Amino acid sequence: MTDSLHPEKGNDWDVIVMGGGPSGSLAAVASAACGARTLNVRLEGWRGARIESVRIMQNHGAGSVPLAIFPELAGAKEGVVFRSTVSLGAEEVTICQGTELTAVISNPQLWWPSGQEDPPLYEVRVELL
């Protein structure tokens, strides 16, 4: 079966449901339950800005690692404020907030060679406020 929607390449779907909210989803489920090859297309939108990706640069120093955090935005870009939280397991290591984000991890846990110990994995969470 092909998932192509291009007429020149053929179309192997019996039913295509475009949007329709909850009713469209129910229609797609019902047609699939009857054995029809069903494609449910849902469109989502947003207002204002949203985070599209995040780039992080780190600079290892003596006893600390500063992180420069660069969120890439889609949508409105002026006057946007971010909050970043760096965690190690359940513990919040550092939190920063502003239009530009710089977080510092003091006394970071280091990785050991393969097979020595499980590596400490820091999680960086970036939010749009």
Q: Are residues 115 and 82 in the same domain?
A: yes
More confident residue, 87 or 23: 87
- Continuous segment of H or E residues that includes residue 36: none
* Mean pLDDT, the chain, whole residue set: 83
Number of domains, the chain? 2
| Backbone φ and ψ of 11, nearest 5° | -145, 115
pLDDT at 92: 92
Q: How confident is the model at residue 11 (pLDDT cuts 50, 70, 90)?
A: low
Q: Are residues 37 and 61 in the same domain?
A: no
Q: How confident is the model at residue 3 (pLDDT cuts 50, 70, 90)?
A: very low
Model confidence pLDDT, tens digit, residues 92-119: 999 999 988 999 999 998 887 777 878 8
Q: Is residue 1 part of a domain?
A: no
| Backbone φ and ψ of 122, nearest 5° | -85, 135
Q: What's the average model confidence in pLDDT over 81-87?
A: 94
Residue 117's domain is classified under what CATH number? 2.60.40.10
| Dihedral over alpha carbons 18, 19, 22, 24 (to 10 degrees) | -10
Q: Are residues 61 and 104 in the same domain?
A: yes
Label the pairing between strands 38-41 and 15-18. Answer: parallel
What are the helix (H) ranges across 13-126?
21-33
Look up the pTM and report it. Answer: 0.60
More confident residue, 8 or 104: 104
What is the domain extent for residue 37?
7-41
